[in-house]
Amino acid sequence: MALSKKQSGVFKGMSTAMLTSILVIAMAIVFDPFNYHLISHESERLSVLGLSLILPTLILIASIGRLAKLRFFSSEDIDGSGLTSGTNDAIILQSLLQNTLEQLVIAFGVYTASCLLMPSAWLSVVPVCSLLFAIGRGCFFIGYSHGAPARAFGFALTFYSTVVLFLVLLGYLLTRLMS
């Protein structure tokens, strides 16, 4: 089965994001850019977690704010999506907000588990993934209204950076369990 032009564009965006995620995460583990190998206390791990959640949380706040602002200044949208069908702009912003919330829930769990369970020398990967999350969301927001191929990289960078981190964590835990 041949891929349509849109499918091909989505595949390219997703593949590029997957490769980017793998390479950046591997480099963060190998080079430990924040020197987290020096961490020895649980409270320092929690600080890494707190710092790593700032960007994704800020993006969620901005997403909520963008929709709230639109609704406030739109007589058609001010009653909210539960009481109106919503304008196209409100529907798009609601979709961006919903997807960001979904991505943040996954990231929150993975970042938390990673900060608590991974070796301290690997912890630089968590704030690096937070940065990838922010870059991914920015690309997703910019590309969203231009269709699936234009938003694929942003969606996938947000998602795959979290998934690859999760797989790294699982691999570490399985290796530890088997040894």
What are the DSSP calls for 69-108, one per residue?
A: HHHHH-TTTTT-TTTS---HHHHHHHHHHHHHHHHHHHHH
Pick the CATH number of 40-178 from 2.60.40.1940, 3.40.1160.10, 1.10.3720.10, 1.20.120.550: 1.20.120.550
Q: Could you say which residues of the chain have pLDDT below 50?
A: none
pLDDT of residue 147: 95
Write down the pLDDT at residue 115: 98
| The two three-digit tokens of residue 157, written as one number | 């960078």
- Cα separation of 68 and 70, whole Å? 5
pLDDT tens digits, residue range 109-145?
A: 999 999 999 999 999 999 999 999 999 999 999 999 9
Helices and strands of the chain, counted as H and E runs: 5, 0
